[in-house]
Amino acid sequence: MASMSPETPSSCDCFVSVPPASAIPAVIFAKNSDRPRDEVQEVVFVPAGTHAPGSRLQCTYIEVEQVPKTHAVILSRPSWLWGAEMGANEHGVCIGNEAVWTKEAVGAGEALLGMDLLRLALERGSTAQEAMLVITSLLERYGQGGSCREDPAPFCYHNTFLLADRTEAWVLETAGRLWAAQRIQAGVRNLSNQLSIGTDISAEHPELRNHAQAQGWWDGQGPFDFAGVFSLAQQPVRMEAAKARFRAGRELLQQQQGDITVEAMMNILRDKDSGICMDSGGFRTTASMVSILPSDPGRPSVHFLTATPDPSRSVFKPFIFGEGVAQAPQVLSPTFGARDPARTLPRFQTQVDRRHALYRGHQAALGLMEAEQQERGRQLWQKQRDLEREGLEVLGALLTAGKEAPPPQPLGSLFQAFVERESQAYA
């Protein structure tokens, strides 16, 4: 069994608000990706594609069968791997994943990472439920496994997922190849590195209960509580700490039920007191995302991504699938081909500089902003807030303007424009 590194910090937080919890008729999704402190996260646009019959697809560690058609996606991902920590597709499906450890052993072999499953689901699912079924079918066939960080010491875990679309959300929690899912059709929900589905199970692996009974984890008599049955009796230290973060996140959501906005979700992701915006033990929030998915299919979904660490000192920039959409080069990391230490065996024996242009500029600005006595740092922080406010104003105009009104610029070029302006502010 691969080391699950229970003392190693590993924390992410996912949130969703489904009407009537949202302030407007829209599902609002959010995630902080907490990863090794120096890991670079890039934002990658992948257009829709058609693929020849029998095509194979190389993921981070293994190949899988390709499907005939894949959807366009926007991904926020650690730049060394194929999958993603969070993202969205052209149909308004959003997914975030989290690390968990359960009574099911974490295997040592390389298989699909949870981040690979997330990207595959976005490329293949046109609704949250379809995407959830993509994950469960791939999990059944290929399993999940492999090291989840760029380091010679393996760091492996299983995954939970929060999936959302314009009408609902799903929580999918896994233990090896087994899984349980919960449908969220109203209200709020959050995840923080622990199993959280109890008896309210909307769908499950057909052998889930039989397996639990065969292992002696459930007597087959009382109500079946997935988290209660599959959670470790002795939790790793970090999972115990995640309980406080989970409760804090739930309280922050519940306090604002009925009034939750994109700004409210951004503020939750920036909350340092709760640990949701974190920087400790060699890990920190390396990228963040907030998406608004209007119930009216005539309104565009808008996805705000940082592409930089620490959301309290980053800019949430709007991305929309539409005319003019293309890869923003400033948030794309350099590539190393066959020499990449993630590809050569044994893996991760050397390190390379994966910083993209915006990350480099943000690093310099972050140093100034953290030295709050410096006037230049305060000015940069204010520029960030002003730029973000402009993005929120664009969102407000899109949600309230008549559908016949032409946008001020091609919607697909918005993200690129905001990235360029942020880069100029740091220059």
Positions annotated as catalytic residues are 12
Alpha-carbon gap, residue 168 to 185, rounded angstroms: 5
The pair of structure tokens assigned to 156 is 């492996």
Burial (0-12, 13-18, 19+ Cβ within 10 Å), 293 = buried
Q: SS3 for 318-382, per residue?
A: EECCCCCCCCCHHHCCCCCHHHCCCCCCCCCCCCCCCCCHHHHHHHHHHHHHHCCCCHHHHHHHH
Question: Helix/strand/coil (H, E, C) string of 27-82?
Answer: EEEEEEEEEECCCCEEEEEECCEECCCCCEEECCCCEEECCCEECCEEEEEECCCC
How far CA 24 is from CA of 163, 250, 391, in Å, comes to 20, 20, 18
Residue 23: both structure tokens together: 């302030």
**CA-wise closest residue to 182 among 169, 164, 195, 166:** 169
Say how far apart CA 76 and CA 329 lie, in whole Å: 14
How far, in Å, CA of 227 to CA of 97, rounded? 17
Distance CA 208, CA 197 (A): 13
Please state, in angstroms and as integers, the Cα–Cα distance from residue 143 to each residue in 107, 176, 257, 269, following that order.
9, 7, 37, 31
- Note whether 313 and 272 are within 8 A (CB): no
- d(CA 166, CA 155) in angstroms, rounded, equals 34
Closest alpha carbon to 171 in 26, 283, 290, 18: 18
What is the Cα–Cα distance from 178 to 204, expressed in whole angstroms? 8
- Half-sphere exposure at residue 199, Cβ-oriented, CA atoms within 13 angstroms: 4
| Tokens standing for residue 322 | 């539409």
Which of these, 8, 14, 76, lies nearest to 36 by C-alpha position? 8
